[in-house]
Amino acid sequence: MPIVLACVAGLLAVSALSLPLLRHRAATAAVYSACLAISLVLCAAAVLSIGQADSETVLPLGLPWLGAHIRLDPLAYAFLAIVNFGAASASLYAIGYGRHEAEPARVLPFYPAFLAAMNLVVIADDAYSFLFAWELMSLASWALVMARHHAAKTAYAGLVYLIMASFGTFALLFAFGLLAGAHGDYAFDAIRAHHLSPGLAGLALVLAVVGAGSKAGLVPLHVWLPLAHPAAPSHVSALMSGVMTKVAIYAFIRVTFDLMGAPAWWWSLPALLLGGATAAIGVLYALMETDLKRVLAYSTIENVGIIFIAIGLALAFKASGLPGAAALALTAALFHSLNHMLFKSTLFFGAGSVIVATGEQDMERLGGLIHRMPISSAAFLAASMAISALPPFNGFASEWLIFQSILVSPQLPRMGLKLLVPAVGVLLALAAALAAACFVRAFGATYLGRPRTTAAGEAREADRWSLAAMLTCATLCLLTGLFPGIVIDWLQPAVTVLVAGQMPPQAAIPWLSIVPISASRSSYNGFLLFAFVAVSASFAAVVVHRFASRMVRKAPFWDCGYPGLGVVAQYSATSLAQPIRRVFATVAFAAHEQAEMPPPGDLRPASLRRFLRDPVWHFMYAPVASAVGASATLLNHVQFFTIRRYLSFVFVALIVLLVVLALWG
């Protein structure tokens, strides 16, 4: 406990101390090194102490009669580890990457504050400090998004982010208000003791979904995410996508599993429905996008959907009195949160290095970088395979656990859930397959083929710090995929607290396999599969080279006899997605193409236009935005009245109020 508090205070101190040093040349390296060191300490402390007893304290800060309650329980430790590992790797990356920042003074003070705020959200134990930390997190990340305020899109992104963040905080505020009750105390202990009627619980649940979901990026509350995450510097994008969404997921888990008490079965419905929709639509959005960082941001939305599916399953199991199955699903959710932090950080680091090396982030203007940036491309490839849920990487291990928890859900007593869960399973499988398509496309268009611009052709490999961060995260993607049992066992204290059940201890399973419920059902062994594939591949290569041919001739590529076509004739990111666009997006996004072929003799160029309609924006936000605009225009007239009319308004208002008072009394 003292370590954690000291570290958070240290981060805030770094933030404050960075202010006078901003002009100094070494400021970037100093701030990020300090953040790296503090985050590593916090991460190590959290990893080591997850099994320990809860510790709480009240700091004399915040509201005078409430104080700031701080509590460290296994769930907080699990998320502290996730947050601080992500923070440490982002800081390591930024020691190198931050040197390329045009205006470091716009990033350095807010970065440690952002890290501190995320830690505070996780350890807060009363609604006031929670919301204060939550809002600090929003504002610090907003300031980081606005770091590159000169870009035209950034201001818009910042505006949308600010609106959605305030909206989400409002929802959480009301949720806590409901949870605390009319005479409630805002300390979480009091909230736990207070029980709500089903109607109020439902309202609080909806508010929690809106509040946490808007920060996590649940469809349809996701609109700010693909704007804001890519607008920030890349290490901050990695933090926002990989870590801040996890803090939002922490908030949802904390409210639904801990504060609201024993769940009813229908609590799982919003998480399952929205999670399934988010997973499938998020990755479809990603496939339509050509900006590399926006692709990654949309894929974050997809992964948040996957995590919410697992949370929904866990809620359903817990409510139905199946603690073993609930433990399985909740472990899957936490494990996938950890995994997503690892691979999404790697991917954003890779994207950041590409932007530093080429100045481009549109995949249509990249290509061929595997030759110029071999190490970072290997890390990006590993993370792409991990996020596509392919063995032996970690993404597969956690999705395997989710599939296994779907397979135990026929035990659920409710018919509604029985019909819903298979449909959610289809969406999950669809999302996994489309994610593979998405990352074949992202990796292929960015790193493979021939460079589409001279900038891409002259790229240079990233610096040592960035490479170290990327390789660390990519290696961990592999290691947690090879030995998932260690992570699962480590997570069990947190799971046990929340669902009063746990998965079978994986360390007891021979050969490092993992099993979901009991040994007889199913098992998976990532390490053995990896070893088999590695051995077979090397064996095949050795045998072929030894006993058959080992000769290589270099030649121009063949391309079925048309090698003379230029680099623009390569398949681009847009054309790679064309079949999927035609199959899926004609329904989801009303996608269509308009080809214009001038007749022979006409000298106009032929053109092909692509139209997509974002259904969420079109049907939900655009009407609200235009209504706000229209009412603002109407109210605009009020601004130009004469003083006499204003005075008469005041007079009428006064009379009306008095009449109302008189009638009331």
Binding footprint of other proteins, residue count (CB under 8 A): 90
Phi, psi of 391 (to 5 degrees): -70, 155
Residues 267 and 205 sit within 8 Å (Cβ to Cβ): yes
Nearer to other proteins, 500 or 533 (CB): 533
Beta bridge partners of 593: 610
* Rounded least distance, CB 570 to other proteins, Å: 5
Residue 166 touching other proteins (CB under 8 A)? no
Nearer to other proteins, 243 or 328 (CB): 328
Nearer to other proteins, 411 or 631 (CB): 411
Residue 592 touching other proteins (CB under 8 A)? no
Q: What is the DSSP string of 172-232?
A: HHHHHHHHH-TT--SBHHHHHH----HHHHHHHHHHHHHHHHHHHT-TTS-TTHHHHHHHS
From the list 5, 1, 499, 501, the residue with the least C-alpha distance to 253 is: 499
* Rounded least distance, CB 452 to other proteins, Å: 9
The CA-to-CA distance between both ends of the chain, in Å, stands at 55
Instruction: Give the per-residue contact string, 423-452, with other proteins (x = CB under 8 A; - = no).
Output: x-xx--xx-xxx-xx-xxx-xxx--xxx--
Question: How many angstroms separate the CA atoms of 535 and 422, rounded?
Answer: 37
- What part of residues 201-260 is at the interface with other proteins (CB under 8 A)? none
* Rounded least distance, CB 507 to other proteins, Å: 17
- Contact segment (CB under 8 A) with other proteins among 172-180, 314-322, 460-468, 545-553 equals 545-553
CA angle 634, 636, 638 (to 5 degrees): 95
Residues 313 and 404 sit within 8 Å (Cβ to Cβ): no
Question: How many angstroms separate the CA atoms of 321 and 314, rounded?
Answer: 11
- What part of residues 364-423 is at the interface with other proteins (CB under 8 A)? 367-368, 370-371, 374, 381, 385, 388-391, 396, 400, 403-404, 406-407, 409-411, 415, 418-419, 421-423
Question: How many angstroms separate the CA atoms of 3 and 1, rounded?
Answer: 5
Q: What is the DSSP string of 602-643?
A: --SPPEEEEE---HHIIIIIHHHHHHHHHHHHHHHGGGG--H
For other proteins, the binding residue among 54, 103, 458, 559 (CB under 8 A) is 559
For other proteins, the binding residue among 39, 245, 472, 525 (CB under 8 A) is 525
Residue 522 touching other proteins (CB under 8 A)? yes
Question: How many angstroms separate the CA atoms of 40 and 46, rounded?
Answer: 10
Residue 532 touching other proteins (CB under 8 A)? yes
Residue 119 touching other proteins (CB under 8 A)? no
* Rounded least distance, CB 572 to other proteins, Å: 8
Residues 319 and 473 sit within 8 Å (Cβ to Cβ): no
Residues 355 and 291 sit within 8 Å (Cβ to Cβ): no
For other proteins, the binding residue among 51, 359, 505, 579 (CB under 8 A) is 579
Nearer to other proteins, 51 or 410 (CB): 410
* Rounded least distance, CB 87 to other proteins, Å: 30
Q: The dihedral of CA 488, 489, 493, 498: what is its sign?
A: positive
- Contact segment (CB under 8 A) with other proteins among 351-359, 362-370, 484-492, 630-638 equals 362-370
Residue 507 touching other proteins (CB under 8 A)? no
Nearer to other proteins, 534 or 654 (CB): 534
For other proteins, the binding residue among 26, 548, 603, 634 (CB under 8 A) is 548
Instruction: Give the per-residue contact string, 465-504, with other proteins (x = CB under 8 A; - = no).
Output: ----------------------------------------
Nearer to other proteins, 165 or 286 (CB): 286
Question: How many angstroms separate the CA atoms of 92 and 456, rounded?
Answer: 25
Q: How many residues does the chain have?
A: 665
Nearer to other proteins, 201 or 459 (CB): 459
Contacts of 624 (CB under 8 A, 6+ apart): none
* Rounded least distance, CB 424 to other proteins, Å: 11
Residues 369 and 350 sit within 8 Å (Cβ to Cβ): no
- Contact segment (CB under 8 A) with other proteins among 96-104, 262-270, 579-587, 618-626 equals 579-587
Nearer to other proteins, 224 or 524 (CB): 524
